[in-house]
Amino acid sequence: MKEIYLPIKAEVVEVLDMTPDTKLFKVKPERPVHYQPGQFFMLSLWGKGEVPISITSACGFHEYVELCIRRVGYITSAIHEVKPPCDIGLRGPFGNTFLAENAKNKDIIFVAGGLGIAPLRPLITRVMNEKKRSRRIALLYGSRNPGEILFKDDIEAWQEKGLQLFLGVRKGLQFILSAGKKDNCLLSGSGPAAESSRIPKISFKNAYAFVCGPPVMISPTMITLSTMGMDENNIYTSLEAHMKCGVGKCGHCYVDGVHLCTDGPIFSYAEIRKRRLQIV
């Protein structure tokens, strides 16, 4: 029988400070793992516990995985103490994925708030690397201050490949929240790379959206996107919950009839509305 609770060993090979409270961990699992964008691992520190962490490195079949972790509590603080070389445990990958297949050749808008860029990164990289891409891709990325913009190198690389970038800082989240109010515009923030009141040049009717970020941002963003004319079935987000097992058994993530860990964490806006999932 497959041991669903037994983590495999993974070696931390590199730790990068990204911001004062966020670090990027490059780990090498005992055996290579295959994963899809949007999936997560249960990261296990023996003696401390387990936490769900999204995979942020390019998806596929890889020897190394990257995890971007913010220090917020007991276990994440312990993880931040880890110095390579050192072993941690990994279980997974778990969860469903961003269904990018349906979005084939459609315009895509990514909306990320803060750490929300991490789970989106594999998907953005994948679409940006498509050969002979004709569709338009936009990224709206809000963060608290310029120092907290993550993955700057990647963003530059994506821009070179034609990504429309909209950065919002300081009240980074609000620039997305205030969307839709003034002249039907999506952006009204200010920042180094963002001029105020611009709209991504994509066709909202057929486009897909992938939204990731703190709960306060998710529902207003999804509402705005749907008022902009997007199909509710095409707006996806990743929900968060307290998780202990990641495999649909412990019950912690069970809300409104779904286990977020196995039935999610990715849901479309239509599904969220239908099931009345609570976004916290």
Partner 1 sequence: MKKNLIMDKNYLSYWLRQIRKTMSLIAPMRLKNADIVFKQVDNIHEIELDCPASLPSPKEFLLPQKEYMFRFSKNSVDVLKDCTKRLIFGVRSCDISAIDLMDRFFGEKFVDEYYMSRRENTVFISIVCNNPDPTCFCIGLGTGPFLKSNFDIQLTDLGDRYLVETGSKQGADLIRGYSHLFSRPKKSDYDDQYEVILSSQSKFEKRISLENTRQKILNEKINDLFWDWIARRCFECGGCVYACPVCTCFNVVDRMEQEGDGYRFRIWDACMFKGFTRMAGNVWPAEKKGSRIKQRYFHKLLYYPDHFGRFGCVGCGRCTITCPGHVDMATIAHRIDVGDRRRR
Ligand X SMILES: Cc1cc2nc3c(=O)[nH]c(=O)nc-3n(C[C@H](O)[C@H](O)[C@H](O)COP(=O)(O)OP(=O)(O)OC[C@H]3O[C@@H](n4cnc5c(N)ncnc54)[C@H](O)[C@@H]3O)c2cc1C
**3-class SS letters over 35-88:** ECCCCEEEEEECCCEEEEEEECCCCEEECCEEEEEECCCHHHHHHHCCCCCEEE
Indicate the residue among 123 and 266 with the shorter CB distance to partner 1: 266
Structure token digits, residue 30:
């005992």
Which parts of this chain interact with ligand FES (CB under 6 A)?
243-246, 248-254, 259, 261
Q: Minimum distance from CB of 47 to partner 1 (Å)?
A: 4
Q: Minimum distance from CB of 7 to ligand X (Å)?
A: 14
Indicate the residue among 51 and 230 with the shorter CB distance to ligand X: 51
Residue 278 binds which entry of ligand X, partner 1, ligand FES, none, CB below 5-8 Å type-dependent: partner 1
Which span (7-15, 68-76, 195-203, 228-236) binds ligand X, by CB under 6 A? 68-76
- Using an 8 Å Cβ cutoff, are 90 and 8 in contact? yes
Angle of helix 117-128 versus helix 152-160 axis, rounded to 10: 30
Q: Minimum distance from CB of 172 to partner 1 (Å)?
A: 17
Nearest Cα residue to 85 out of 28, 11, 159, 164: 11
Indicate the residue among 70 and 244 with the shorter CB distance to ligand FES: 244
221-243: string of b/e by CB count within 10 Å (b at 16+)? bbebbbebebbeebbbbbbbbeb
One-letter amino acid at 227 equals T
Does position 113 bind ligand X by CB under 6 A? no
Binder of ligand X out of 24, 45, 51, 218 (CB under 6 A): 51
Residue 47 binds which entry of ligand FES, partner 1, ligand X, none, CB below 5-8 Å type-dependent: partner 1
- Using an 8 Å Cβ cutoff, are 83 and 73 in contact? no
Does position 15 bind ligand X by CB under 6 A? no
Does position 265 bind ligand X by CB under 6 A? yes
Residues that bind ligand X (CB under 6 A): 40, 49, 51-54, 68-70, 72-76, 115, 118, 240-244, 265
